[in-house]
Amino acid sequence: SRTGVVVLAAGSGQRLGFGIPKAQVLLGEEPILRHALAGVVAASVADRIVVALPHGEKPGPGTLHEVVEVFLAEHRDAEWELSVVEGGATRADSVARALSALDGVERVLVHDAARPLVPVQVFQRVADALVAGARAVIPAIPVVDTIKQVHTSHGADADISPELVTGNIARESLRAVQTPQGFSYAALKAAHDDAQYLDDKQAEAITDDAMLLESRGVPVHVVAGSTYSLKITTPVDLILAEGLLEGPLA
Ligand code: C5P
């Protein structure tokens, strides 16, 4: 009956453009990773937490290792255990490494540190679905934009714009998918073990963990996510997150 939570903080943060790992960037007064860890702990869903840190990062002042050490020092009497692993070159590699460190748990939540403001209710909805028997569960929200399919054409009008619309997808049937995503540990581990044989192009197309299970015929349940669960990717996301943290809605 043990639940593990993987917190992925091994990304470079290139698109955010601060020249440091994204999870180390300050949101309010604390690094993004610290917010993410506080969210996991506040939700009370984890027996074990494994944090994937950037490949090659040496422990020391001003590092994500230090963020984890400080967090641990402040939670000495906690019921959960927390450890770190070195992340991989891709998100999926980082997940696979963290899963190896979680051997023995029954269920696992995989969470992006880049989503530091996920409400505790979302963690709990995902964890509850697993306890109720789901082998895979993802939090998602309705899509608010109209979504169109485009094709890049190199025809005569390319000087106006090389992109042309080829179709529409009914918005009602679409969901924007977030983390934490929840899984039976055995199902996710098996899927990742098999995924190491994908070629680079196939691996690139796998942008979340649920996809790996969908392709194996495992039903993926959808529960309500939250607009607070935004993923910090570009500078505007950081401004939005600062607003959520301080604003009247917080
Ligand atoms: O780059 P992106 O924002 O899509 O990354 C999503 C999450 O995956 C982030 O929390 C990032 O730290 C993590 N990641 C990772 N290892 C990688 C690449 C991304 O843990 N090699």
The three-state DSSP-derived secondary structure of 75-92 is CCCCCCEEEEEECCCCHH
Instruction: Using the atom order of ligand 1, give the atom closest to the CA of residue 90.
Output: 21
Render pLDDT for 17-74 as a digit per residue (tens, 0 to 9). 999 999 999 999 999 999 999 999 999 999 999 999 999 999 999 999 999 999 999 9
* 97 belongs to a structural domain: yes
Strand partners, 94: none
* 61 belongs to a structural domain: yes
* 168 belongs to a structural domain: no
Q: Is any atom of ligand 1 closer than 6 Å to the C-beta of 86?
A: no
Render pLDDT for 163-200 as a digit per residue (tens, 0 to 9). 999 999 999 999 999 999 999 999 999 999 999 899 98
**Predicted pLDDT of residue 249:** 63
% of the chain beyond a pLDDT of 70: 98
* 154 belongs to a structural domain: no
ipTM: 0.97
User: Domain with 101 in it: what CATH number?
Assistant: 3.90.550.10
**For residues 196 and 96, is the Cβ–Cβ distance under 8 A?**
yes
Strand partners, 3: 107
Q: What share of the chain is helix, strand, coil (3-state, %, to 5)?
A: 35, 25, 40
Query: What is the rounded average pLDDT for all residues in the chain?
Result: 95
Q: Is any atom of ligand 1 closer than 6 Å to the C-beta of 94?
A: yes
Pairwise CA distance, residues 144 & 116, whole Å: 22
Instruction: Using the atom order of ligand 1, give the atom closest to the CA of residue 95.
Output: 20
Q: Is any atom of ligand 1 closer than 6 Å to the C-beta of 113?
A: yes
Distance 238 CA to ligand 1 centre (A): 16
**Predicted pLDDT of residue 188:** 98
Evaluate if residue 122 carries a pLDDT over 60: yes
Other CB atoms within 10 A of residue 196 CB: 10
If one counts the domains in the chain, the total is 1
Residue 167 phi, psi (nearest 5): 175, 170
Pairwise CA distance, residues 186 & 241, whole Å: 34
Q: Is any atom of ligand 1 closer than 6 Å to the C-beta of 90?
A: yes
Render pLDDT for 196-217 as a digit per residue (tens, 0 to 9). 899 989 888 999 999 999 999 9
3-state secondary structure of 59: coil
The closest residue, in CA terms, to atom 1 on ligand 1 is 11
Render pLDDT for 80-90 as a digit per residue (tens, 0 to 9). 999 999 999 99
Distance 91 CA to ligand 1 centre (A): 5
Residue 95, domain extent: 3-141+174-246
